[in-house]
Amino acid sequence: MELPVQTYRVTRADLVRYAGASGDFNPIHWSDRTATGVGLPGVIAHGMFTMALVGRAVAGWAGAPDAVVDFGVRFTRPVVVPDTDEGTEIEVAAVVKEVTEDGLTRLDITATCRGEKVLSQARALVRTPR
């Protein structure tokens, strides 16, 4: 069973807010000059910010944040965030792989940006809503 796709817009302003909250002020997350200087295609979103957006989708599907029992991802491709008002979008989709006897649901998750997967091995285990 496929779950409804969740879409999240990401702008440079979001990256600044996340940097303030996380304390991660690495200039690859706000300076095109620095990002391209180290070989990146442009300013990129924080990996943990990307993971948090996927986590928000999982919590939404589960019905509550505390229903998420386990959640993990591997970062495979950076999310490039252009310096525009629109920024970019991350689309999060999931497929129910299994419902266990003890009432847990295993999800295989796909997160894409501009049609390319940005995470691999993205999986979650959630308490099945009753």
DSSP string, 48-61: HHHHHHHHHHHHHH
Residue 43 has pLDDT above 60, yes or no: yes
Q: Which homologous superfamily does the CATH classification assign to the domain defined by 2-9+47-127?
A: Hotdog Thioesterase (3.10.129.10)
Looking up tokens 């009753």 gives 130
Q: Rounded CA gap, 95 and 83, in Å?
A: 33
Residue 63 has pLDDT above 60, yes or no: yes
**Domain residue ranges of the chain, discontinuous segments joined by +:** 2-9+47-127
In the DSSP assignment, the letter for residue 130 is -
pLDDT band at 128 (very low <50, low <70, confident <90, very high): confident
Backbone dihedral angles phi then psi of residue 110, each to the nearest 5 degrees: -125, 130
Q: Rounded CA gap, 49 and 51, in Å?
A: 5
